[in-house]
Amino acid sequence: MAEVSIDGMDLMVRIEGLDKLWALKSRLVIPLANVRGATIDPGIIKERKGIRAPGTYLPRVITAGTFHIDGERVFWDLRDPDKAVVIELADERYARLVVEVDNPAEVVALIEKACAH
């Protein structure tokens, strides 16, 4: 699971618990200027993941880490697709972040509000 917050002009994504081990990351810091938006998307789990490098993928259990698909890097930290938030990025190492959060609607509202300013 991830904790998403806004710190000044940055989007902070902290990976929690054992997910740090599976994802091989503990946090991501993205300038808000490079965040295009966020959506709740439980169906994202059905998308093709691409090539895992590095990370963990156990179907229907966990998807975590960096995946390369169609020339893009996507960061995943997801176990429960009902709690999936997709954060679209521009001019960053990752094209998207797909993360599981406690309250998807709250996180999307936080990101959208921060991007509007």
Q: Phi first, then psi: give them for residue 108, nearest 5 degrees.
A: -60, -45
Q: Domains for the chain: give ranges and CATH numbers.
A: 2-116 (2.30.29)
- What proportion of the chain, given as a percentage, has pLDDT over 90? 83
* Phi (first) and psi of residue 18, to 5 degrees: -70, -15
Half-sphere exposure of 52 (CA within 13 A, CB side): 15
pTM of the model: 0.94
- What's the rounded mean pLDDT across residues 7-18? 96
Q: Is the per-residue pLDDT at 117 higher than 80?
A: no
Whether residue 106 is predicted with pLDDT greater than 90 in this model: the reply is: yes
Structure confidence by residue, pLDDT tens digits, 48-89: 888 888 899 998 899 999 999 999 999 999 999 999 999 999
